[in-house]
Amino acid sequence: MDDVVFGRRYRVIEKIGSGGMADVFKAVDDVLGRTVAVKVLHPRYASDPTFVARFRQEAQAAANLSHPNIVNMYDWGRDGETYYIVMEYVKGTDLKSLVAQQGPLDPRKAAEYAAQVCSALAVAHGYDIIHRDIKPHNIVLAPDGTVKVMDFGIARAGNTTMTQTGSVLGTAQYISPEQAQGKQLSPASDLYSLGVTLYELVTGRPPFDADTPVATALQQVNDEPIPPRQVRASIPPALEAVILRAMRKNPAERYTSATEMRDDLRRVLNGDGPAGGVYAGAASPDHTSVLPPVERAASARPASAPRMQPVPERRMSPWAWVAIVAALLVVGLGVAYALGAFGGGGVVVPPLAGLTEEQAQTELEAAGLTLGVVGTENSDTVEPGIIISQDPEAGDKVEEGTAINIVVSLGIEQVVVPDLTEYKEADAIAAIRSTGELEYDHSEPENSTEVAKGLVIRTEPAAGAPVPKGTPVILYVSEGVELVKVPDVTGLSLAKAQAQLEDIGLKAKTTEAFSDSVPKGSVISQKPDPTVLIEAGSTVTLEISKGPEVIIVPDVRTMNEADAKKALTDLGLEPKVTYVTSPDDGIVVNQFPIPGASAKRGDVVEIEVGKTPGDGAGD
C-alpha cells in the first residue's frame, strides 16, 4: 500500500475499513505531516454523474462543519476516476463494536453519548445538512470519552435530494419511516435514527430486525417498538420516554430539534424527567422565584398592655455614643462587603461570546456558575454553534450557582427556493430579486421535450430547498425540442450505425432483408433519409442485410410443363424449356441444376419436356 498516494499528498499506510459506499484507508498527509483517514468511493458511485455532482456539493457543505463531536473533513478531490475525502483520523471504537464486545451499555453512559451526538446534529442541521445514516457504526468513542459522528456529507450525497425518486439509501435497522418510504427528509429523521441507536445501546439489540432489509424497513413504517424497559428493566423510565418520543412514527410528534432532545437527555442525567412529560421533575433551584414580603413588626403596643412607667432619664457619656456609632459602622461595612458592595463578594461572569456551548459550560462550571437557557438566532457574522450573546453580561457579579443564559448562532438565515417551473425567464429573474433573500446568478439553456421554449425547466438549488439567505440561483431555461440531422449510415455495420445514431441522441430500430449487393449485417437502407432534421430521441429504422438469399432448387421432374414453370418462378428462379423426344408427352423428364442444388434469385433452371415422336421433337 506504500505506493498508493491520493492527491499527490495523502500516502496510504493501511486499509482500516470497508462499507457499502466506500473503502477507508489510514494515511499520512505528506504536506502537514499528520495522520488522516481517506475514504475512497466505490467505482459504481464515482461513475454516476448525478452522484458525483451531489457529492461535491455535500462535501463542500460538510467541510464547513467544525464541532468537537464531528469528525472533521479536511479535504476532498478526484484522483483519476477515483473520488475521495480526507477526514480526521480518530482512535477509538465505534458504538456498534462496543455493544458487540460488552453488551448493553450503562444507561447513563448511553444517554451521555447520545447527548453529544445531539450537539453534533444541532450544528449540522443549522447548515441544512441531514446526516441520513445515523447508526452506532458511524459514532466513534474516543479514549477520553468524547464521541465523534462520522460521514457527514457522504450520507446525503448518496441519497435524497441525493436519493432518486423511489430509491432509499441508508441502513434498514436505523432509517426513519419517512426515509423507508422515500419521502422528503427533515432533521427529525436523524433524531429517529438516534432514538433507534440509543435503544440498541441500552438494550443490546435494535428495535426492528427482520430477515431482509425490506422487511425491516416495513417494520420501521408499520410496527411500534417493544418498550426498552420490557427488554431491560434497569433502564430509567425517563430515558425510555426520551427514546420512545424520538422514535414516533410521525415526524411532527418527535423532538423539534436536536437541541431539545439533548436538553431532555441532560435532564435524565441530572435525575429529572423529560421536559413536559410524565417524568418531569420539580422546578430547578436555579429558577428565579418570588419571595413573600416580610411583615413589618408592630410599633404600637396592644391596648391591653400595662402602662410602662417612665424611667428616670440618665445621661450617657458622649464617648459612649461615639463607640456605639463606630461599632455599628464597622458592622454595616462588613455586611456591605459581604454582599459585594465593594467588589469583595459574588462571582464575576466570564465572557462567553465566541465560544461553543460545550466550551461555555466548562467555563461556567470552573467559575462556579451554571448554564441556563440556551436560545438560538440567525446571524450573518457568527458561525453556527458559536455563542452570540449572554445574560448576565460578561464582567457582571452574581451569586455563585447563578444560571447564565446564552444565545447560540444558527448561522445565516435559511430561506426556501421558490418554484419557478414554467415561468418566463424574465419573470423568474424578477421573482428571485423581489424576494430580497436570494440572488440571481445566471441562466443556462437546456433542451426539453416537456417545457416550452423560453420557460424555466428547473433551478439550482432546487425548488423547495432551504438555503442560506443570499444564495445565488441558476435558472435552466428551455431551448425547446432539440433537432438533429439524420446521418447517412447505409453500408455501415449494424453496431457502427447504432453507435453513430446514439451519439447524437437518436434511437435505432431494425428490419431484415436479403441482399445480393450489401454484406450480411450491414445497413441496406434507412428511414428517415439522410440529412433530414428530426427531434432528438426519435427512432431511425434500419434495413439490415441478411446476405444473398439461398434457394434450394425443387424437383420438378414428373411435373407437367406448366406446373414446373410455376414452381420455379414462385421461388424466384427462371425456367428454360428444352423439348426432347419422349413418350411422356408434356412431362418434365430432366432438369439442371439437379434437385437440392443451391441457387440464388434469378438463376436459370433448365427443364427438358417430353414430346412424342411426330410432334417435331428435337426439331
- pLDDT at res. 171: 81
Task: Reduce the DSSP state of residue 311 to 3 states and report it.
Answer: coil
- pLDDT at res. 41: 84
Report the alpha-carbon distance of residue 64 to residue 297 in Å, rounded.
65
Cβ proximity of 455 and 445 under 8 Å = no
93-269 CATH pick, 1.10.579.10, 3.20.20.100, 1.10.510.10, 1.10.10.60: 1.10.510.10
Per-residue pLDDT for 291 more than 60?
no
- pLDDT at res. 319: 52
**Residue with more model confidence, 336 or 575:** 575
Read off the pLDDT of each residue in 491-509 and give the average, rounded to a whole number. 93
Q: How many CB atoms neighbour CB 618 within 10 A?
A: 10
Per-residue pLDDT for 405 more than 70?
yes
Task: Reduce the DSSP state of residue 77 to 3 states and report it.
Answer: strand
Q: How many CB atoms neighbour CB 222 within 10 A?
A: 11
- pLDDT at res. 322: 54
CA distance readout (Å), 109 to 9, 115, 126, 138, 198: 39, 10, 26, 17, 10
Indicate the fold that domain 483-545 takes in CATH: Trypsin Inhibitor V; Chain A (3.30.10)
DSSP H helices in 354-448: 357-366, 425-435
Lowest-confidence segment of 134-148, 183-197, 237-251, 323-337 by average pLDDT: 323-337
Pairing of strands 347-348, 397-398: antiparallel
pLDDT tens, residue by residue, 545-566? 988 888 889 999 999 999 999 9
Q: Which helix (H) or strand (E) holds 27?
A: strand 22-29
- pLDDT at res. 233: 93
pLDDT tens, residue by residue, 352-397? 999 998 999 999 998 999 988 888 788 888 888 899 999 989 989 9
Cell, residue 68: 468537537
Q: How many CB atoms neighbour CB 198 within 10 A?
A: 28
Identify the architecture of domain 349-409 in CATH.
2-Layer Sandwich (3.30)
Indicate the fold that domain 414-478 takes in CATH: Trypsin Inhibitor V; Chain A (3.30.10)
Domain boundaries, the chain: 5-88, 93-269, 349-409, 414-478, 483-545, 550-611
Reference 553, options 538, 537, 569; nearest CA is 569
Cell, residue 439: 440572488
Cβ proximity of 42 and 53 under 8 Å = no
- pLDDT at res. 325: 56
Q: Is 133 a catalytic residue?
A: yes
Given pLDDT bands bounded at 50, 70 and 90, which one contains residue 161?
very low
Cβ proximity of 53 and 161 under 8 Å = no
pLDDT tens, residue by residue, 592-611? 888 888 788 888 999 999 99
pLDDT tens, residue by residue, 72-120? 888 878 877 788 888 889 988 999 999 999 999 999 999 999 999 999 9
pLDDT tens, residue by residue, 433-478? 887 889 999 999 988 878 888 999 999 999 888 888 889 999 999 9
Mean pLDDT of the chain: 82
- pLDDT at res. 75: 80
Per-residue pLDDT for 253 more than 60?
yes
Angle at 48 between CA 46 and CA 54, to 5 degrees: 85
Task: Reduce the DSSP state of residue 241 to 3 states and report it.
Answer: helix
Cis status, amide bond into 528, omega within 30 of 0: yes
pLDDT tens, residue by residue, 189-231? 999 999 999 999 999 999 999 888 888 989 999 999 999 999 9
Q: Which helix (H) or strand (E) holds 609?
A: strand 604-611
Secondary-structure breakdown of the chain: helix, strand, coil percentages, each rounded to the nearest 5: 30, 25, 45
Angle at 461 between CA 119 and CA 483, to 5 degrees: 155
Cell, residue 456: 424555466
Report the share of the chain in percent with pLDDT over 90: 47
Cis status, amide bond into 593, omega within 30 of 0: yes
> 430-438: which pairs have CB atoms within 8 A and are 24 or more residues apart?
432/473, 437/413, 437/469, 437/470, 438/467, 438/469, 438/470, 438/471, 438/472, 438/473
Of 133, 190, 263, 264, catalytic = 133
5-88 sits in which CATH class? alpha beta
- pLDDT at res. 40: 87
Q: How many CA atoms lie within 13 A of 55 on its CB side?
A: 24
Judge if 93-269 and 483-545 fold alike in CATH terms: no
Q: The pTM is what? A: 0.46
pLDDT tens, residue by residue, 446-458? 888 788 889 999 9
- pLDDT at res. 328: 60
CA distance readout (Å), 136 to 34, 78, 114, 346, 547: 27, 29, 10, 45, 65
- In eight-state DSSP terms, residue 238 is H
Task: Reduce the DSSP state of residue 23 to 3 states and report it.
Answer: strand
Where do the DSSP E strands lie in 134-195? 139-141, 147-149
| One-letter identity of residue 85 | I
Q: Does domain 550-611 have CATH number 1.10.3430.10?
A: no
CA distance readout (Å), 255 to 194, 242, 246, 526: 11, 9, 6, 64
- pLDDT at res. 311: 34
Cis status, amide bond into 384, omega within 30 of 0: no
